[in-house]
Structure 1
């Protein structure tokens, strides 16, 4: 058995920077990856998806070029092979960069294969056994799959990247973030798209006004949305390829299409690690139990990224690395509860979110104020011809601290950071209300909006 100072399982967003940091301190580090370096984000998540979203955005812009006085541009076609080629080049650049980074560090040994725990501090990878006093689990997650007919060919966020041709009719089961992004993307590429959502409305985590705005944007582009689908079951169809039974309260009881995509959530990749051979505890969903500093129930073992259930984003995984690094090497006190929940849905226009929703504020009985502004009142948005959506900020009525914000509109995924930073600084909303922002921008309307707060 080969001994290391530290073993890192998984080369996602937390693993490689932690390996590099430990190696810089003289640790003898092993990093184990069974498939692709970079994890979900680089290979089947953010990077490839946003590359395709960008291509779809160009197609949409060209299609509507005449509204900007550019005539004749709408006579175009989608070269899906070129879309994929561009996407794959971006993915490979990121993946190979991380792999080279790890392989060229003399204090890091790269193992390729499935890691399997032998006991609390030892692992088997292929025919090799290694151990260490410090082990970091960064194995990520994968798509959750719903009930369907045995043998049905279906797509996930991973396998949809392997499509050779555009679907004629893509049926998406799940109306949350992944489902909405792929729906708009493939509709803009020319596919017919139907979203089937079990809940009452899309994006169940969001306020209903946000959901309704998102649905209006999607339906305006020709995407068919079916909500309140109480009974969802997918099966093969001789005529169309796939049929999804939905049992909605109104409308046809089934939808047929050429392809079906599951986008109903994620599950952690913890079922094949051999954790039954350890004292590492899991919760009911299979996530590894950790404390505020990401330590598991076994001393010297930590869980970072999607597999710990404390965040499902690239930025939270990287923050997990920062927390562990801070404790191990800096004697610091950073912890998971320090971070403020923030994320974005990369449809067009994007939806950016931070902190509490209006619904959560009401449920907690917090006395609060609200400021809103539709994007069609923002000069910059109108000038760009992208005036869909709205902005909303929630403020504590007593402390004047910002509790949360939703920005559905052009540039929202960047604009939200001006609010995030004020929240981290624990400063009252007046700080941003009294700031002077650049004209013409969308951000300049945030101070204007905050000057018109009203009781919720």
Structure 2
């Protein structure tokens, strides 16, 4: 191998990649960590930390508007988006500084620049301050993440188009925000900006929001958003966008009823994410990509090149921070202690941070039916949960998919107050192999939201 020699090279610093190189260095490995942008990856800088900070501000605004329902008097509610942004920036800066301080104690070489493969075990780094460095190592871990998919809609180059990063830098609330995309990113920003005071329209090309979910979940989420005053347009295909003058834009949609124009002040593209693989030049290393450009890995996160691994969003699959962290757990064990941990059969939960939250884990009812599984379904409206009634948030429901023969819980979806937290309790039950009867007969504290699990699992039917 030509160039500077290391034991391990890690490219990128997402949730997993920011811990792995430190652990490897502390174990006595000579480690190079290459980062082209902000340390900490998407989660810290443009993903979880900033978005959930802003979601919290939006929820406070909504509760303030509802104060009279709780017997609390407030004046008119307004949102200072610049102040919300500064709070968000402070949170990001704190998280980033915490990581930088850990990195300084890690005993590794931080190289700031963009890495590209020149061979199976060599990379060339175009340095931020100019020049290049060539690095080689027997083990390379790629953690370069993903980014927002560019909008290729006709006319998109002629109008300002926001993505999930730039929308968080606005100083003032949009008058009318049009969102392209009905996945969790579009829904979180849609409800957030509606609560900040914007008119919001969500345009979804597919028949439903959150397409991977069961119909009853998708329908209930759409009802909640419409109840919040958001216009939700499904089966609506964007055809063209154009400048409407006066700082406004017009979007042409094709629907079952024919063509339709909608006009707004801002356009957010939330149509998915693509991997950061181009600059990496994976072909130079012989690294195989899938049809969408993500790096293919086996159950041990090894690529088609022995000794080269990929973790986090760049390998495809669900793009969740906690999944990246579990990738780190697997690689930490396999690289440091020569274990053979794998991704097989891991249970991957996730939460959509709308309000009320939507949390899901395991198998959906649709997935179970498609696999011809004999299942029973438990379902309970949140209006039957005492704590939800007391808190004044009864929208949504809990749902569980149960193996008809064994009583094992195969999956669950919770759309309701603290839905992600309630889902996590069910996930722990699944990990512990508890049955639906175990959950129905458990003693939960009254009056917690978790107490609703007694009733949920007591309503099992065919």
- Give me the TM-score of the superposition, normalised by structure 1: 0.97
8 A contact 1:390–1:409 mirrored in 2: yes
Does residue 1:402 correspond to 2:443, yes or no? no
Aligned ranges 1:291-302 → 2 under 5 Å? 291-302=298-309
Q: CA deviation at 1:237?
A: 2.3
Q: CA deviation at 1:116?
A: 1.3
For residues 439 and 426 of structure 1, what CA distance do their matches in structure 2 show?
Answer: 24
Match of 2:16 in 1: 14
For residues 434 and 382 of structure 2, what CA distance do their matches in structure 1 show?
Answer: 26
Q: CA deviation at 1:240?
A: 5.2
Match of 2:103 in 1: 102
8 A contact 1:240–1:257 mirrored in 2: no
Instruction: Compare 424-433 and 436-445 and name the one that shifted more.
Output: 424-433
Does residue 1:279 correspond to 2:286, yes or no? yes
Instruction: Compare 369-378 and 158-167 and name the one that shifted more.
Output: 158-167
For 2:158, what is the secondary structure of its paired residue?
A: coil
Match of 2:87 in 1: 86
Q: CA deviation at 1:105?
A: 2.0
Match of 1:213 in 2: 220
- In structure 2, the CA distance between the partners of 1:195 and 1:420, relative to structure 1 (3 Å rule), is same
Instruction: Compare 41-50 and 142-151 and name the one that shifted more.
Output: 142-151
CA RMSD in angstroms comes to 1.4
8 A contact 1:305–1:311 mirrored in 2: no
For residues 344 and 115 of structure 1, what CA distance do their matches in structure 2 show?
Answer: 33
Aligned ranges 1:307-456 → 2 under 5 Å? 307-455=314-462
For residues 240 and 247 of structure 1, what CA distance do their matches in structure 2 show?
Answer: 24
Deviations 1:339-388 (A, max 9, x none): 11210000000000011111111111111101111111111001111111
For residues 22 and 436 of structure 2, what CA distance do their matches in structure 1 show?
Answer: 39
For residues 12 and 202 of structure 2, what CA distance do their matches in structure 1 show?
Answer: 33
Q: CA deviation at 1:252?
A: 6.3
For 1:322, what is the secondary structure of its paired residue?
A: helix
Match of 2:171 in 1: 164
8 A contact 2:351–2:359 mirrored in 1: yes
For residues 340 and 285 of structure 2, what CA distance do their matches in structure 1 show?
Answer: 28
Match of 1:70 in 2: 72
Alignment size in residue pairs? 453
Match of 1:118 in 2: 118
For 1:417, what is the secondary structure of its paired residue?
A: helix
Instruction: Compare 325-334 and 31-40 and name the one that shifted more.
Output: 325-334
Does residue 1:58 correspond to 2:65, yes or no? no
8 A contact 2:85–2:169 mirrored in 1: no
8 A contact 1:37–1:96 mirrored in 2: no
For residues 203 and 405 of structure 1, what CA distance do their matches in structure 2 show?
Answer: 16
- In structure 2, the CA distance between the partners of 1:391 and 1:220, relative to structure 1 (3 Å rule), is same
For 1:376, what is the secondary structure of its paired residue?
A: helix
For 1:331, what is the secondary structure of its paired residue?
A: coil
Q: CA deviation at 1:231?
A: 4.2
For residues 266 and 153 of structure 1, what CA distance do their matches in structure 2 show?
Answer: 19
For residues 458 and 187 of structure 2, what CA distance do their matches in structure 1 show?
Answer: 33
Deviations 1:372-430 (A, max 9, x none): 11111111001111111110011010121111111000011111111101212233222
- In structure 2, the CA distance between the partners of 1:64 and 1:356, relative to structure 1 (3 Å rule), is same
For residues 249 and 370 of structure 2, what CA distance do their matches in structure 1 show?
Answer: 41
Could you tell me which runs of 5 or more consecutive residues in structure 1 were left unpaired when the two chains were aligned: none
8 A contact 1:53–1:185 mirrored in 2: yes
Could you tell me which runs of 5 or more consecutive residues in structure 2 were left unpaired when the two chains were aligned: 127-131
8 A contact 1:179–1:195 mirrored in 2: yes
Q: CA deviation at 1:74?
A: 4.1
For residues 210 and 240 of structure 1, what CA distance do their matches in structure 2 show?
Answer: 37
Q: CA deviation at 1:272?
A: 1.2
For residues 226 and 161 of structure 2, what CA distance do their matches in structure 1 show?
Answer: 24
For residues 186 and 251 of structure 1, what CA distance do their matches in structure 2 show?
Answer: 29
Match of 1:263 in 2: 270
Instruction: Compare 77-86 and 286-295 and name the one that shifted more.
Output: 77-86
Match of 2:310 in 1: 303
Q: CA deviation at 1:255?
A: 1.4
For residues 327 and 334 of structure 1, what CA distance do their matches in structure 2 show?
Answer: 6
Aligned ranges 1:181-196 → 2 under 5 Å? 181-196=188-203
